[in-house]
Amino acid sequence: MCFLFVILIVIVIEVMVFLMILLHPEIIITMDHDARVLKNYWIGIENGEITYIGREKPAGGEEVIELPNRIIIPGLIDSHTHVAMTLLRGLKDDADLMDWLQNYILPMEMRLKPDDVYYGALYGIGELISSGVTTFMDMYYHEIEIAKAVVDSGVRAVLSWGSADVFFQRSPEEEFKIAKRFEQDLNALKRNKGAEDRLFYAYGPHSPYGCTRELLELFKDKSNETGTRIHIHLAETESEFKDIREKTGKTPIEYLDSIGFLSDKVMAAHVVWVAEKEFSILRERGVHVLHNPISNLKLASGIAPIPKMLENGINVALATDGPASNNRLDMFREMHVAAIIHKGFTRDPKTVPAKTVLEMATIRAAKALGLDKYIGSIEVGKKADLVVLNLRNGTQGTPLHDPYSMIVYSLDKSFVESVMINGEWVYFNGEYTKIDIEETRERVQNIRERLMREAGIT
């Protein structure tokens, strides 16, 4: 009996080790160092990793999938969002920021229970996956619920607790302790669920205006000590820019720099309000910028000077922001807007070209999140996070001239046919394999109705 059991385990392990998935798409956009675009190559996947890329079909391959008319791209990375805010999507659009925030968003958020956040996140992750996102970075509270949704859905994520001692009127130490507790809970969950390669932690001091200087310094010191990355909102609105200048005599970027906060561990979302002299600060400190063009336009924050950042060699990643301010979790729509807005605004049709935009959604984002050893490109040894685009899913996939241009200007999320994360199909031929999306939708509906009722919003 025991002997049979051992044999069984050996067989299972052998199958796991040797079970090779082989994909044979028409085009592979690798986003590797040489920006190789490969026609009619094979990709081999074993144990969640890419183990083969080549012209010849390798021996083995238990799951062999021919993919004519398909482009495979690296999984997209949404580098800044608040994924559970699907619950609040479209709650009050076309409104002043403060009216929206204080009279609609906050009264609903105050009433969120852990379960609400779990289902809001699961729904949002479903939305991300179906638009080709395989990794996202989040900042919210009840964040352990989001971690559970990450575990259950098969996605990869960097999670941060939104720390804001100013907003919550807590001491910096208390606020830091809460973040620390989340980190411990996350570590326990990772171990228990064997999700060490899908769950990552970052500090999440909300913003220069949501945190005291003491709290910012606490996170900075701990980051220097442990190497933990820091996820922050920075220079998003003009009012932030003015308020910080009034309070400190410095711009938000100068202020953070003056307290030694900025480093290559800092992942700064938005960065719309940048003075000319600040590009060199961002470059020299190695700060990563997370660009949210749709949210910045819709909330009338402004237009981040991305062309100048790129010229200055600053690493820029792309992001959706939360679905309450977007209103989608859709990196295809984000790529499109990122590609057109800076052309129109600078009046240079060659700025922020399609290939750069796809980099901002893949390899540059991986670099921003400190995960470029594992994800962000299709290379042997990297995690198998892959998106299969079927050019026949709509008229827009024809004719094909340049694949980068096709992806950024012509396609949309409806061309995402299948999504693999860590070697596992989490979305296959347009169907979720791990999320019951209809049940989740039902729950989201009910939660939203309860919150509206409780908050007295009609």
The residue ranges that bind its own copies (CB under 8 A) are 86-87, 89-97, 100, 123-124, 126-127, 130, 238, 294, 296-303, 326-328, 330, 333, 336-337, 339-341, 343-351, 353-354, 392, 394-396, 398-402, 405-406, 409-410, 412-414, 437, 441, 444-445, 448
Rounded to a whole number of angstroms, the minimum distance from the CB of residue 263 to its own copies is 30
Rounded to a whole number of angstroms, the minimum distance from the CB of residue 302 to its own copies is 6
Those residues with Cβ within 8 angstroms of residue 240's Cβ, 6 or more apart along the chain or in another chain? 207, 208, 209, 252, 273
Rounded to a whole number of angstroms, the minimum distance from the CB of residue 88 to its own copies is 8
CA dihedral 404, 405, 406, 410 (to 10 degrees): 140
> Could you tell me the sign of the dihedral formed by the alpha carbons of 11, 12, 14, 19, in that order?
positive
Beta carbon nearer to its own copies, 56 or 438: 438
- Kindly give the pairing relationship between strand 416-421 and strand 386-390: antiparallel
Rounded to a whole number of angstroms, the minimum distance from the CB of residue 80 to its own copies is 17
Beta carbon nearer to its own copies, 218 or 337: 337
> Could you tell me the sign of the dihedral formed by the alpha carbons of 145, 151, 155, 157, in that order?
positive
Rounded to a whole number of angstroms, the minimum distance from the CB of residue 431 to its own copies is 13
Rounded to a whole number of angstroms, the minimum distance from the CB of residue 173 to its own copies is 37
Beta carbon nearer to its own copies, 45 or 112: 112
Beta carbon nearer to its own copies, 21 or 155: 155
Beta carbon nearer to its own copies, 231 or 413: 413
Return left, alpha or beta for 151; rule: phi > 0 is left, psi -120 to 50 is alpha, else beta.
alpha
Q: CA–CA separation, 396 vs 389, rounded Å?
A: 12
Closest CA to 241 of 219, 273, 211: 273
Rounded to a whole number of angstroms, the minimum distance from the CB of residue 121 to its own copies is 12
Beta carbon nearer to its own copies, 102 or 396: 396
Count Cβ atoms below 10 Å from residue 92 Cβ, excluding itself: 15
Residue 389 contacts residue 72 (beta carbons within 8 Å): yes
Residue 215 contacts residue 168 (beta carbons within 8 Å): no
Beta carbon nearer to its own copies, 287 or 294: 294
C-alpha 217, offset from chain centre: 26
Beta carbon nearer to its own copies, 168 or 345: 345
Q: CA–CA separation, 158 vs 136, rounded Å?
A: 6
Count Cβ atoms below 10 Å from residue 36 Cβ, excluding itself: 15
> Could you tell me the sign of the dihedral formed by the alpha carbons of 287, 292, 295, 296, in that order?
positive
Rounded to a whole number of angstroms, the minimum distance from the CB of residue 45 to its own copies is 27
